[in-house]
Amino acid sequence: MSRLLLFNKPYGVLSQFTDAEGRETLANYIDLPGVYPAGRLDRDSEGLLLLTDDGKLQQKIADPKYKKWKTYWVQVEKQPDETALQQLRDGVTLKDGPTRPAQVKVIDEPALWPRTPPVRFRQNIPTAWLELKIREGRNRQVRRMTAAVGYPTLRLVRVSIGEWGIQGIAPGEWQEQHI
């Protein structure tokens, strides 16, 4: 039986167990031998990170060829217009090539935990929240996509990967499922 951990990664934590520079890592939160992240989540992003002790399951979660949707709640600078949203839906060309089309919609501000440190707030620049779903996971892809269409990301929270989500899991906490 395979182990699968659903971890709500806090802001500022690396998606690895060791760091030569002494920054916070998964080891600060998870003390289980033999589990490894299935994919990554940037240090300045929050939310769902899956860990498993099963290499085949790890590949099925992380490899884009299995087409698992990853859902993010993204706070961006300014209020995106329909042109920018359609560009994200069509796929955006980044330095490393075009992205696959995304599913995206503007959402009300989600009920999230406070981030430490808080997102910088500038009174003269409004923000908006997007729900953005992608089927790939390049380095800092969501941030690069929103910036490419003129709306830089301020806060990024991954809320689900495929059928797994962080509902009911507080930041820094994890739940185990047996697969």
The number of beta carbons lying within 10 Å of the beta carbon of residue 41 is 24
CATH number at 81 reads 3.30.70.1560
Number of domains observed in the structure of the chain: 2
pLDDT tens by residue, 21-55: 999 999 999 999 999 999 899 999 999 999 999 99
Shared domain check, 42 and 105 = no
Residue 81 bears catalytic tag: no
The greatest distance separating any two alpha carbons of the chain, rounded to the nearest whole angstrom, comes to 54
Q: Given 19, 31, 42, 108, which residue is catalytic?
A: 42
The answer, yes or no, to whether residue 143 has pLDDT greater than 80, is: yes
CATH number for the domain including 46? 3.30.70.580
State which residues form the domain around 103.
69-161
Closest by Cα among 39, 38, 35, 10 to 25? 10
Taking the model in full, what pTM does it have? Answer: 0.94
Query: Do 146 and 171 reside in the same domain of the chain?
Result: no
Residue 38 and residue 91 share a domain: no
Q: Are residues 101 and 121 in the same domain?
A: yes
Please tell me what DSSP assigns to residue 177. Answer: E
- pLDDT at residue 103 greater than cutoff 80: yes
- Band (76; pLDDT cuts 50, 70, 90): very high
How confident is the prediction for the chain on average, in pLDDT?
Answer: 94
Residues 173, 131, single domain; the answer is no
Nearest Cα neighbor of 49 from 11, 6, 13 is 6
